[in-house]
Structure 1
Amino acid sequence: MRELLSELRDWHTSGTPFALATVVAVRGSAPRDPGAVMAVSADGTVAGSVSGGCVESDVCEVASEVLATGGPQLRTYGISDEDALGVGLTCGGTLDVLVQPCTTEADRDRLRELVDLVAAGEPVAVATVVAPPASMGARRVVLAGRVSGSLGDEGLDAAVTDDARGLLAQGATASHRYGAHGERRMQDVTVFVQTFAPAPRMLVFGAIDHAAATARIGSFLGYRVTVCDARPAFATRQRFPTADEVVCAWPHTYLASTAVDARTVVCVLTHDPKFDVPLLAEALRTPAAYIGVMGSRRTHADRIARLREAGVDEEGLARLASPVGLDLGARTPEETAVSIAAEIVQHRWGGTGRPLSELTGTIHHTRQPEA
């Protein structure tokens, strides 16, 4: 939904009725994950995507029906060998799309509140009943300190609220099944919980040209990017206009004082022992998802020896992606940034890093569990 904030605000302001289509489940290979959103206004304007083009035309037709009737619909899209060119996913997977109307003032106000929370970076989870049809569309909004809305039963509300807060802490989106009163071992009710956690962080150390390119691609990938360097002449806003923040401080000191979680990626581009060794020793004490380090193989070997002398064990050393990046033959700072970004994506999803043309089987990998 983050990419649709501007359009949704405009439609809210103008009072434009629209339908919101959300991917609520994926089975097999599919181009978009649960939580992907597409909005269709009453005049047929489309924003966002639920499948990368495979089923959008049919979803637009469903949106028109939803706008006309005022009731939500759940559609399942798959593919069969007999109908490979029909409405469905050419990648061979199956996805469920929930299409809901936003036509009344109450609908628009609820969505505007959500849009404002997401835009402000507030952690928020939205739990929506997907099945059974009788209660489809019932919604409960869960924040750190409060909740609003109800799924129709006090016990169900309590169970879903607990699970929503757990998913929010992980930055994960998922569907859960419950009994009608929130029982854990029953499957009468399916609830889709979409979380909007603050953007994950990318910490880039070393204010060099490669850092500027890495900061740009980090922002493109949806990270909140911080560039840090101890040299005032290099750590300037002018040099890093796309970064969310630029910090002038000793890297290891800054890292020890800032928040790092299991979604954070750390890119160390300084390749100077006086910065690298204390910084990496500190980074390896954190739960960071990825720690990439720039430098030649000779620099890497020297760095490893220094880290061992500093007391870093072999398990910690094995966490380092060094030399940083995938082997793309990169030369320029921009190409190197693509190489680094490719390794981050590969690490997150568990891909092989090899050309898809050389592989068989599924193209889209299942999300790796958070550390």
Structure 2
Amino acid sequence: MDMINILRTIRRLDQPAVLATIIGVEGHAYRKAGAAMLLPLSGDTVGTVSPGCIESDLLERVPSIWETNRYEIAEYNMDPDDDPIWGEAVGCGGVIRVLLEPIEGTLRTILTDALDLLDRGREVQLVRRLKGEVLCYELSAEEVIPLPSGQSGYDWQFSLHLTNRQRVILFGAGPDAVSIYQLLTQSSFHVIVADWRPRLLAAYPDAEHYLGTPGQLKEMLHLDTEAAVIVCSHHLRYDREMIEWALTSNSKYIGVMGSTKRIGMLFDGDAPPVNVKAPVGLSIGAEGPYEIAVSIAAELIALRYQWRNKQKADRQKEERHEPIRNIFGGRTEQPNGQAEAAARAFAGRSARQSGASCSLG
């Protein structure tokens, strides 16, 4: 979730910047539609939209976009048969359309409002609608699915679902947990470190952390069905208490580190429940703390997208039975594919397109 880092950077940003968002992909591409990147005038970027292929070109566009205070749409054709400059250099074979927007005025307000809602536990849709050369913004509480351009009154619509980071409780702050913390944090998880040993917690100065045994942590730390828990303190009694607490809280994922023998002791020889992964991580033959951390991060990344897809399917099922509720409006949208709408909207247009912005709120 580059977008969370981007939003937090925008909140404290004190210099001109441009937001680059992939709004359309045809064929093969490194990042999908919705991937975003913050391009401050200083050149200190946040996030990625490619493996480094188009970033330098995007950065060159930043000064003019900021000076004119108008958005721009850039198209990159990675097919060497169609575009020998980009295609030969990159070789991905796809077409990428990137929306570049100056971070000020309406857009800055919309993005900071979105972060405020995320910080309060809400999930929101950031909706962009194009009419002529005017780009309008809206925040919606529910998924907004675009109408065909001829029925909506807009040339194009792009909706981006924003959700907060998946919360992971890492119980056990020993040396083998450092790599787990680092990899999960770099993979956009919100990692909370807990341990009863102050000396071990000192290795995580930047982490949200709690000091205490599982019994004490219950007074300080909230566990719920959305939390993932990794148990790796290597203290048999405390690990068992943490597992029992996570089970009673119906945590969706409980990963337990340890050998088969130790796991058997933790569960009294019984098979672990379905929401418990013991031993934790994907079975990739990992050896040593770093490789084990890689297996854990890979497993949680895979599960995160499974959970998100399920949540999306559940939302769509609910929306078939009730109208969409907008945070800043009361319109209802009907189903249609936004990728097709984007393709129609930009078919035949030049690789550079610019215009002004407005708010639908």
Q: Distance in 2 between the 1:291 and 1:95 partners?
A: 39
Structure 1 residues 202 and 93, CA, compared in 2 at 3 Å: closer, same or farther? farther
The whole-number CA distance in structure 2 between the counterparts of 1:347 and 1:108 is: 32
Q: CA contact under 8 A between 2:198 and 2:211: conserved in structure 1?
A: no
Q: Deviations 1:191-237 (Å, cap 9, x if unpaired)? A: 333354333211112343223442333333332222234xx445764
- Counterpart of 1:269 in structure 2 is 232
Which runs of structure 2 are paired with 1:347-366 in the superposition (5 Å)? Answer: 347-349=303-305
Secondary structure (helix, strand or coil) at the match of 2:142 reads helix
CA contact under 8 A between 1:78 and 1:92: conserved in structure 2?
A: yes
Q: Output one character per residue of 1:236-263: Cα deviation in whole Å (capped at 9) or x when no partner.
A: 642432421223132697399614344x
Is this contact kept in 2: 1:127–1:191, CA < 8 A?
no
Structure 1 residue runs of 5 or longer lacking an equivalent are 142-160, 165-174, 351-365
- Residue in 1 aligned with 2:337? none
SS of the residue corresponding to residue 222 of structure 1 reads: coil
Cα displacement (A) at 1:342: 3.0
Equivalences, count: 306
2:3 is the counterpart of 1:37: no
Tell me, which stretches of 5 or more residues in structure 2 are unaligned?
A: 315-361
Moved more, 28-37 or 106-115: 106-115
What percent of counterpart residues are identical?
23
Task: Answer 1 or 2: higher relative contact order, Cα 8 Å, separation at least 6.
Answer: 2
Which one of the candidate residues 258, 265, 268 is aligned to 1:295?
A: 258
| Contact 2:76/2:86 (<8 A) preserved | yes
Q: CA RMSD in A?
A: 4.3
- Superposition deviation, residue 126 in structure 1: 5.6
1:219/1:242 contact within 8 Å kept: no
Match of 1:163 among 142, 154, 158: 142
State TM-score, norm by structure 2: 0.65
Give the 3-state SS of the residue equivalent to 1:227 in structure 2: strand
Structure 1 residues 27 and 270, CA, compared in 2 at 3 Å: closer, same or farther?
A: farther
Partners in 2 of 1:330 and 1:369 — Cα distance?
32
Q: How does 1:1-371 map to 2 (within 5 A)?
A: 1-4=3-6, 8=10, 13-14=14-15, 16=16, 18-26=17-25, 29-40=28-39, 45=43, 47-48=45-46, 49-60=48-59, 63=62, 66-67=65-66, 69-83=68-82, 86-87=85-86, 90-102=91-103, 106-107=105-106, 110=109, 113-114=112-113, 117=116, 123=122, 125=124, 127-135=126-134, 137-141=135-139, 161-164=140-143, 176-178=145-147, 190-229=156-195, 232-233=196-197, 237-250=201-214, 254=218, 258-262=222-226, 264-284=227-247, 286=249, 288-307=251-270, 316-317=273-274, 319-326=275-282, 327-331=284-288, 333-349=289-305, 368-370=309-311
SS at match of 2:14: helix
What is the alpha-carbon distance in structure 2 between the residues aligned to residue 256 and residue 67 of structure 1? 45
TM-score for both structures, normalised by structure 1: 0.63
Q: 1:98 to 1:302 in 2, by over 3 A?
A: same
Q: Secondary structure at the match of 2:85?
A: coil
Separation in structure 1 between the aligned mates of residue 35 and residue 107 of structure 2, nearest angstrom: 19
Structure 1 pair 238–129 and aligned structure 2 pair: CA distance change class (3 A): closer
Q: CA deviation at 1:39?
A: 3.8
The separation in 2 between residues aligned to 1:275 and 1:119, in whole angstroms, is 33
SS in 2 for 1:20: strand
1: distance between equivalents of 2:256 and 2:216? 14
